[in-house]
Chain A
Amino acid sequence: MRLLVPVCAVLLVSGASLAGTAAAEPDAVARGKYVLRAAGCVACHTDEKGGGTVLAGGRALETPFGTFYTPNITPDPGAGLGGWTEADFLQALSQGRDPQGRPYYPAFPYTSYRGMTEQDMRDLWAYLQSVPPADRANKPHELGFPYGLRFLATVWQWLYFEPAPFRPNPDRSDVWNRGAYLVRHLGHCAECHSPRGRLGALDGGRELAGNPEGPDGKKVPNITPHAKDGIGGWSKTDIAFFLKTGFLPDGDVAGGAMEDVIRESTSRLSDEDRAAIAAYVQSLSPVPGP
């Protein structure tokens, strides 16, 4: 009888939490799918060239430090995130650490995702748990010496990283704040559009001012409103239209990695979110370069 009490309690608690999960799930999954799009997870976590399953990882990211292979984030118990808890997932996004507490290399843009709201992280987790598991095993990164020494990622975090949630600016409009959240955190635009220092940390003073040595060795344009070097000549409508269709104001079309971003992410956002991104980007100080 004495045993029965804790057992009942456990049953009650797990029953309650199950009921809670079941009730919240459909909405959370639907919201999480949108977060997935806005956060651009698909383009990196899918080996499109190799015909890989969506979100099963394996895409090569060539950087000056070596080649990173993105991991499988489907809920496969062995190859993916099947063994993870929601808390593990939140820790990965906001602190850049794996479930064992080891730091990730900043090729994974937790430096931007750290600002994600808890709600968005939980919804994203709900969505990722809902996709079909794929058993593609993760491929180890191929990094040049000394970058393959993982403790260096710890040093890197000491030097350049601290968790920092997004704080809306009360002096700005809701639209501006939404845009800032989308650009700086979910959309992690700065990860490609800003120059990096020798150890791969983003140059905060030149945020979004372009990167002469972007992913796959390609030049990434300046998207601050600088008249000559940036997109100062673009209207808000031009920016939103580009993010929706891929067409630049001169009728040319986005190629390179931005084609992926438009197809998998920005073309699938709401008109309101694209307008918010445009409003935020236009409000930045023009920076020359790169």
Chain B
Amino acid sequence: MRRVLCALSAGLALGLAGQALAADSPENLVKYRQSVMKAIGGHTGAIAAVVKGEVSYGAHVANHARGIRDMSLIVPDIFPANSGPMDYADTGALPKIWEEPAKFKLAVSAFQSAAAKFADIAEGGDSQAIADGLGALGKTCGGCHKPFRQKKE
């Protein structure tokens, strides 16, 4: 139930985002988006270090996984219309995000479900399940980053 509510509120936020953010500058919107993405990447990198056996912080994985799940809920908000490469050049986000919104939405919601599932797996604490789950989560990251991002140098 909670998950349904979360999804609903994320959907509402997406609808409202356009108006609320038109006043924010494209540069600041892009930088904010990059901070959110770095937060997700930071948590993923930390989990990867545990999974690779570089650090023995196994107990932290659930915290990081919750972080990724929480961030996944705000991802739909952070691509307002005035934050594309036409508005501010220093972004890796491709115009396709705004040209094919239905496809983009689908890829984002795949990430959201995978992040929610991974948070549950991490709660369980089984290291093999976590390693496999991280792979599945990574596929959904790629699901957006491949078609919708051109990485900047």
A107 to chain B, nearest CB (A): 21
What 0/1 readout, one digit per residue, does chain B (37-64) give for beta carbons within 8 Å of chain A? 0001111111010011110000000000
> Which secondary structure dominates where chain B touches chain A?
helix
Contacts A244-B135, A260-B146; is A251 near B45 (CB within 8 Å)?
A: yes
Which residues of the partner chain B approach A249 to less than 8 Å between Cβ atoms?
45, 48
Answer yes or no: B138 CB below 8 A from chain A CBs.
yes
B41 — nearest CB in chain A belongs to which residue? A251
Interface positions of A from 84 to 128, Cβ below 8 Å from B: none
Answer yes or no: A137 CB below 8 A from chain B CBs.
no
A251 touches B44 (CB 8 A): yes
Which residues of the partner chain A approach B145 to less than 8 Å between Cβ atoms?
253-255, 259
B132 — nearest CB in chain A belongs to which residue? A245
B115 to chain A, nearest CB (A): 13
Answer yes or no: A267 CB below 8 A from chain B CBs.
yes
A270 to chain B, nearest CB (A): 15
Partner of A262, one of B44, B142, B150: B142
Which residues of the partner chain A approach B150 to less than 8 Å between Cβ atoms?
218, 255-256
A52 to chain B, nearest CB (A): 16
Complexed CA–CA distance, A262 and B141 (Å): 13
Contacts A246-B141, A262-B142; is A251 near B149 (CB within 8 Å)?
A: no
Which residues of the partner chain A approach B48 to less than 8 Å between Cβ atoms?
241, 245, 247, 249, 251
| Contact-residue size bin, chain B (C-beta under 8 Å from the other chain) | 20 to 34
A253 touches B45 (CB 8 A): no
A255 touches B52 (CB 8 A): no
B43 to chain A, nearest CB (A): 7
Partner of B52, one of A238, A248, A253, A262: A238
Answer yes or no: B153 CB below 8 A from chain A CBs.
yes
Answer yes or no: A250 CB below 8 A from chain B CBs.
yes
B138 touches A247 (CB 8 A): yes
Complexed CA–CA distance, A248 and B41 (Å): 9
B44 touches A247 (CB 8 A): yes
Interface positions of B from 98 to 153, Cβ below 8 Å from A: 134-135, 138-139, 141-142, 145-146, 149-151, 153
Which residues of the partner chain B approach A260 to less than 8 Å between Cβ atoms?
146
Complexed CA–CA distance, A241 and B134 (Å): 11
Can you name 12 A-B residue pairings with CB atoms under 8 Å? A246-B139, A246-B141, A247-B44, A251-B48, A252-B41, A253-B145, A254-B142, A255-B142, A255-B145, A255-B149, A256-B146, A262-B142
Apart from the given pairs A237-B52, A247-B48, A251-B42, 8 other A-B contacts in the complex at a CB distance below 8 Å = A219-B153, A245-B138, A246-B138, A247-B141, A250-B45, A251-B44, A251-B45, A259-B142
